[in-house]
Amino acid sequence: MKKFQDYHLGLDMGTTSLGWAVSNEKYEIPKFNGKSMWGTRLFNEAKTAEERRNFRSGRRRLKRRKERLKLLQMLFAEEINKIDSGFFQRLSDSKYYIEDKQVYQKNSLFFDKDYTDKEYFKDFPTIYHLRKFLFDGNKPKDVRILFLALQHFFKHRGHFLFPDMNLENVTSFSKIFEELKNYLHENLDLDFEWKNESIVEVEKILKSSDISKSEKEKKLCKLILFDSSKIDSQRKAIIGLMCGCKKKFNDIFDTKDYSDSEMIGLSFDEINYDESKEKLEEILGERFICIDYIKVIYDWAKLSDILKDEKSISSAKVKSYEEHQNELRILKNILGKYNKLEKINFFKNKDEKNNYLNYIENGISQEDLNKNILKILEKIKDKVKEEDKDNFENILKRAKNGILFNKQHIKDNGLIPYQVHKYELEKILKNMEEYFEFLKIEKDGTTVSEKIKAIFEFRIPYYVGPLNDTHDKAWLVKEKGVKIYPWNFEKVVDLEASAEKFIQNLTNKCTYL
C-alpha cells in the first residue's frame, strides 16, 4: 500500500469480537506485506458487576442471618445454660464430622441420659413436625425444643415483597386479582373479568395440583368474559402465563415489538424470575410491571398449593410428608407384586439414573423422577388386579401431573411471604408463654416475646444505610452510646434525619450545574 493513499476503514464491533477491513477508493481490499487488509480479533466478553453484586448480596444476607441467630441465642442463653451448658457448642459443631468437633460425641442436639438425637428425630422427623407440635399448643420437653423451632423461623423468614400487606391480603385471590385487573384496564386498555360467580371456581382451578398447566389454561379460558365467540390470543396468553405455561410477549401485549428480542417469551415454571428481572425490565420497559402482576397470581397459586387449606405452613408440610410416605408405601407394594426387578432398580440401584435413590441422595429433579415412574407403571398397567386398581390409578395420575413424592425443601418455598411464617411464629410464642415465664419478662419496656417478633420482622431501611455512625461514608443519625437492636431501632435511630442525610449524600455538588 502506497504512502498517503486514501483509504476507508470499516469496523464491526461486537461484544466478543472486532471485525475490520480496509479498502481503497474503488472499494478494493489492498494488501500489506502480502496479506489482505481485513481480519477479526476475538476476545472474552466483558463481565458486568452483576455477578460480584450477587455474591456481595449473598454474603450480606448470610451475615445478617447470623446476627439474627446470635440475638436469639442471647435471649435464650440464660434459660438454656441452666439445663444444658453445652447445647450451643454442640449446635455450632453439628456441621462437622465427629472427629472435627470440639466435644467428641455423635449427638448434635441432645445429649441427656434419657433423651438424645435418636429420641428427638423419632418425635420430630422434620423441623415442620416440631413447629406444628408447638403451634398446636403442646408442651415441649424443655426450652431447647422451642429454641430449635424459632431458629428455623429466623433462617427461613419468607420474602418481603409485600411488606405493607397483612396475611389476609397476601392469601386472598380476589384482592391480588383486582390489582392485575385495574392495571390491564388502565395501561393496556383491556377488560379482564371472570363470568358471574365464577371467582371461586377460578381459585379452585389455579391452586389445584391434580390438573396440568395446559388443562388449567383451557378451563380458565372458558370462565373469562369476552365479546366474540372465541377468546382472543391476548387474554389467553395472560391466563396461560399465570398458570405457568410458556407465552410470547407479542401475545401478552398484543404487539409485534418483540419478535426479534433476545427473549421473546417466558414461563414462570422454567426461569429463575429474580435472576431474569433485570433482563426482562431491559426488554419490556414499563410493560414489565404487567409481568410482575401476573407473577403475583402465579405465586398465589403455588402458595395455595403448598398450604393446601391448612392453618399453617407447618401443618401443610407435615401433611405433605405423610403423603410422601403413603405414596412410597403404595408404589413399593405395587412394584413388589408386579415387577420385583424394577422395584430393586428403582429403590436400591445407584447406577439407575432417574430412580428414587438418586432423587433423595443426589438431587435429580422431581420431573425426571415422575417421567421414569410413568414408564415403569405403563409396563405393568395391564397386569394390575382389581384390588390394586384405585391405588395404581392414583399414583399414575400424580406421576402424570409431576407431583409424586413432593419434598419438604423445594424452590417454591421461596414464594412464601413472611406474613405466613409470622402468623405461625406469633401463635407459637403465645402458646409457649404458658410454659416459659421468661418470655413474658419485661426489660427496657419490651418482653422477650416482643423482642423475638422484632428480630424476625426487622429489615434495615435503605435510606438508613450501614448501622455505623463513625465511618466517613455512613450517614446514620443515632443516639450516641446506645447499641442498636431490632426492638429499639426506631427509638435509637433518627429516621427522618438519616433519610435527609441520605438525600444530601446523593445530591450532585458540581459547580457547573
Count of other CB atoms within 10 angstroms of residue 224: 19
Q: What is the CA radius of gyration of the chain?
A: 30
Determine the pLDDT at residue 336: 92
Distance of CA 83 to the CA centre of its chain: 37
Q: Is the dihedral of CA 23, 24, 27, 31 positive or negative?
A: negative
Domain range summary for the chain, segments of one domain joined by +? 8-42, 167-307, 313-414, 463-512
- What is the pairing mode between strands 31-32 and 8-13? unpaired
Q: Which residues contact 499 (CB under 8 A, 6 or more apart)?
A: 463, 464
Per-10-residue mean pLDDT of the chain, 513 residues long, equals 75 93 90 90 87 87 93 95 91 80 79 91 95 95 95 92 75 85 88 81 86 88 76 88 91 88 86 82 89 90 85 92 94 92 89 88 88 91 90 91 88 86 95 95 91 94 84 84 90 91 80 62
Determine the pLDDT at residue 390: 92
Determine the pLDDT at residue 4: 56
The pLDDT tens digits for 18-63 are 999 999 888 889 888 889 999 999 999 888 887 888 888 889 899 9
Determine the pLDDT at residue 1: 47
Determine the pLDDT at residue 436: 95
- Are 102 and 89 in contact, with CB atoms under 8 Å apart? yes
Determine the pLDDT at residue 108: 85
Q: Determine which helix (DSSP H) or strand (DSSP E) holds 46, and give its type and residue range.
A: none
- Are 264 and 282 in contact, with CB atoms under 8 Å apart? no
Determine the pLDDT at residue 2: 54
- Are 107 and 186 in contact, with CB atoms under 8 Å apart? no
- Are 136 and 144 in contact, with CB atoms under 8 Å apart? no
b/e for 128-162, b at 16 or more Cβ within 10 A?
Answer: bebbbbbbeeeebebbbbbbbbbbebbebbbeeee
Mean pLDDT of the chain: 88
C-alpha cell at 138: 403442646
pTM summary value:
0.82
